[in-house]
Each structure stands twice: as structure tokens, then as C-alpha cells.
């Protein structure tokens, strides 16, 4: 019989091939990162079995499921060998670790595969993911007004071997009205949290992890409450960069986008900009003066960002004045600034 493993052991078997046997729509909504969809039922077939279970009971649903699966059994084996010609061990799960995963695990084991089934299925995985974010972790929050180059600095810190979580990268969103240009419409909060867990789980809990100062919402996605609460209690390093330098960075990152997309982003914050500034932005955009657009928008974003920063505990804030947005130079300045604070035990 295929082995049934608890979630902790199941996730440790990284050399095996992970198959999610839920329906395509279940998989599309969210799945364990790295899993391949290997559905026992199509979406329509799953709906049929579910209806039979509700209306006629478990026995009728079981027989219908067998009728639907029977003609596909040979193809399941062929597809498994195609996906896994090396015959690596398989990890399989459905939603609750019930009939779907057990049935397919039995078949694939008969076909010569070593198979492990997740106890409790995807539901157990999600419970494990959400509980893990409450594990105490040392954080260092990198703050700074829009255009300070925070994301670039995080990347440079990661290259130096430091623990970093790029929340915006995971969310495919830069955290503003202009930030969602690359966020896939199908990315759900549930999948974002699963991807976050994949980065979170292997961290050394005794070593600080760098994150960018974010609101709890990134586009349409939500940072989990326990993770967010730890961020809010962590020490904050604020990068104080001149607005002119920040406008240049925004121009570099967003200046190439087409007129309609930029106009739509400006319109989204029209009430916050105010009528006069909103019209000035649109006029500058129409004249292709994109640096002026960036500067006008920064006037709004700076006020909003600094207002949120005021809600932080003053003793948690450290201020680092920088001349420009040169990433490597600023990373070195940051490390030099923090070293005596770490040595003294302040951080």
C-alpha cells in the first residue's frame, strides 16, 4: 500500500515528483509550489460526482467515479511515465487525502512507482502554511519613500547571502496604482501565500530577514496576518533619498509604458491627487513630460508614505540619508550604518 505521510515529512521529500490530482480549476486557484496538475477528474466530472454524492449518496457517487476513471486508467500510467521517465518517487495529494489521491496512488504503485500520499491532503497543507507564519522570526524592514530603490537594494542584499523576502516579487506587484502592470490576473491570495511559505519555511529563525515596508494589501493580494504583525513590530531602516533622484528612478522603471496605461494609473488616484494636480499630471503626460508626471505623483505618495511611517513606534525607526539611488553604493552605506548598531546590541 502507498505510504501516507504527515505534511512535515511530505514536504521534506524534495527529490520526488509532486502530483496534485485535484481538478484543473482547483489547481489553478492555488497549489503547492512545484506541483504538477495530474487530475483524476476534469472539472465537469468532479461536478457530476459531487452532485451524485449530494443527491444520491456516497455509493452512487463512488460507482460513478469508477465509471469515469476506468477508461482512463491506462492513460494515467502512460502520462505518469511520460512525466517521470526516471521513475522517481511520487508524492500525491488531493483536497482531503481521500478517494482521489488514494485511488490514483494505488494505480501508480501497481504501475511500478514508489508513491507517498499526503495525509489530510491540500487542506492539511494550507493549515500548515498559515500556522507557519506565526513562527517567531527576526525581521528588518527596509523603508523609504517611493522611488528610493528599496527593491533593488533587497536584491543586492540577497546576492550578498542575506536572508531576503521580496514580497513585491512574489506578488508580481510594486505596491501602488502603478504597481500592478505585471500581476497575473489569475494570481490569488491563496497562491501568493503558498509561494511566500516556500520562501519562509527554510529561513533561519535566528537570523534577520529583510523585507520591504509594505501595506498589508499588494494589489488584490493580502499578506497573512501573523506575518504582517511581525513586520509591524520589527525595526525599520528608512532610506532618506532626495526626491529628484527618486523621480529619475521612477522614470527609468515606468517611463517606457504606453500613454493609456499611465493615464489609467493616474486616474485611479485622481481623488487623492486632487483636481488641480490630477489635471497637471494629465497635461504633463499629454506633453510627454514624464519626469514632471513622476514628480507630481511623488508629492502625493511622499505625503501618504510619511503619514503611515508616523504610525510606527519612534524607537523602532532608524534614518539613513543617501545622496542618490546608486544601488551598490547605497547597500554599502546601509551595511556600514547598521554594523555599529548590531555590534552594540541595539539591533
From 94, 172, 281, 297, the catalytic residue: 94
- For the chain, the farthest-separated pair of C-alpha atoms sits apart, in whole angstroms, at 72
* Measured distance CA(143)–CA(146) in Å, rounded: 9
Give just the sign of the alpha carbon dihedral 49, 6, 125, 84.
Answer: negative
Residues whose CB falls within 8 Å of the CB of residue 41, separated by 6 or more in sequence, listed in order: 23, 49, 65, 68, 69, 100
Whether 83 and 17 have beta carbons less than 8 Å apart is answered as yes
* Measured distance CA(6)–CA(47) in Å, rounded: 28
Q: Cell 491563496 maps to which residue? A: 190
Tell me if residue 94 is catalytic.
Answer: yes
Candidates 82, 96, 88, 94; CA nearest to 115 is 88
CA angle 217, 296, 257 (to 5 degrees): 70
* Measured distance CA(347)–CA(318) in Å, rounded: 10
Helices 43-56 and 58-69: crossing angle in degrees, nearest 10, is: 160
Residues whose CB falls within 8 Å of the CB of residue 115, separated by 6 or more in sequence, listed in order: 2, 3, 89, 90, 91, 92, 105, 108, 109
Whether 227 and 258 have beta carbons less than 8 Å apart is answered as no
* Measured distance CA(168)–CA(173) in Å, rounded: 5
Candidates 300, 297, 266, 301; CA nearest to 282 is 266
CA dist 253 to 99, 178, 250, 257, Å?
50, 10, 5, 9
Active site residue ranges: 94
Amino acid at each position: 500500500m502507498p505510504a501516507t505521510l504527515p505534511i512535515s515529512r511530505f514536504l521534506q521529500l524534495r527529490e520526488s515528483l509532486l502530483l496534485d490530482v485535484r481538478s484543473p480549476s482547483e489547481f489553478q486557484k492555488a497549489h503547492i509550489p512545484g506541483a504538477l496538475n495530474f487530475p483524476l477528474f476534469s472539472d465537469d466530472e468532479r461536478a457530476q460526482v459531487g452532485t451524485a454524492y449530494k443527491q444520491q449518496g456516497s455509493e452512487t457517487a463512488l460507482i460513478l467515479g469508477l465509471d469515469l476513471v476506468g477508461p482512463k486508467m491506462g492513460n494515467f500510467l502512460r502520462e505518469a511515465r511520460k512525466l517521470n521517465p526516471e521513475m522517481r518517487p511520487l508524492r500525491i495529494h488531493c483536497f482531503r487525502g481521500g478517494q482521489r489521491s488514494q485511488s490514483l496512488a494505488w494505480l501508480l504503485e501497481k504501475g511500478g512507482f514508489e508513491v507517498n500520499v499526503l495525509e489530510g491532503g491540500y487542506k492539511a497543507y494550507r493549515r500548515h502554511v498559515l500556522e507557519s507564519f506565526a513562527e517567531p522570526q527576526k525581521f528588518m524592514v527596509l523603508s523609504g519613500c517611493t522611488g528610493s530603490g528599496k527593491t533593488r537594494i533587497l536584491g543586492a542584499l540577497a546576492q550578498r547571502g542575506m536572508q531576503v523576502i521580496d514580497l513585491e516579487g512574489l506578488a508580481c506587484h510594486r505596491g501602488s496604482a502603478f504597481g500592478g502592470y505585471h500581476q497575473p490576473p489569475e494570481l490569488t491570495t491563496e497562491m501568493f501565500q503558498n509561494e511566500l511559505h516556500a520562501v519562509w519555511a527554510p529561513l533561519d529563525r535566528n537570523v534577520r530577514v529583510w523585507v520591504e515596508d509594505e501595506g498589508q494589501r499588494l494589489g488584490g493580494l493580502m499578506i497573512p496576518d501573523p506575518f504582517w504583525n511581525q513586520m509591524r513590530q520589527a525595526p525599520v531602516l528608512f532610506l532618506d533619498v532626495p526626491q529628484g533622484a527618486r523621480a529619475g528612478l521612477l522614470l527609468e522603471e515606468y517611463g517606457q509604458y504606453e500613454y493609456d496605461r499611465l493615464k489609467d494609473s493616474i486616474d485611479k488616484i485622481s481623488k487623492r491627487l486632487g483636481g488641480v494636480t490630477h489635471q497637471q499630471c494629465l497635461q504633463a503626460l499629454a506633453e510627454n513630460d514624464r519626469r514632471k508626471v513622476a514628480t507630481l505623483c511623488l508629492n502625493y505618495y511622499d505625503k501618504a508614505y510619511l503619514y503611515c511611517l508616523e504610525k510606527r513606534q519612534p524607537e523602532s525607526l532608524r534614518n539613513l540619508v543617501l545622496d542618490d539611488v546608486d544601488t551598490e553604493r547605497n547597500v554599502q552605506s546601509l551595511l556600514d550604518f547598521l554594523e555599529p548598531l548590531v555590534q552594540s546590541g541595539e539591533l
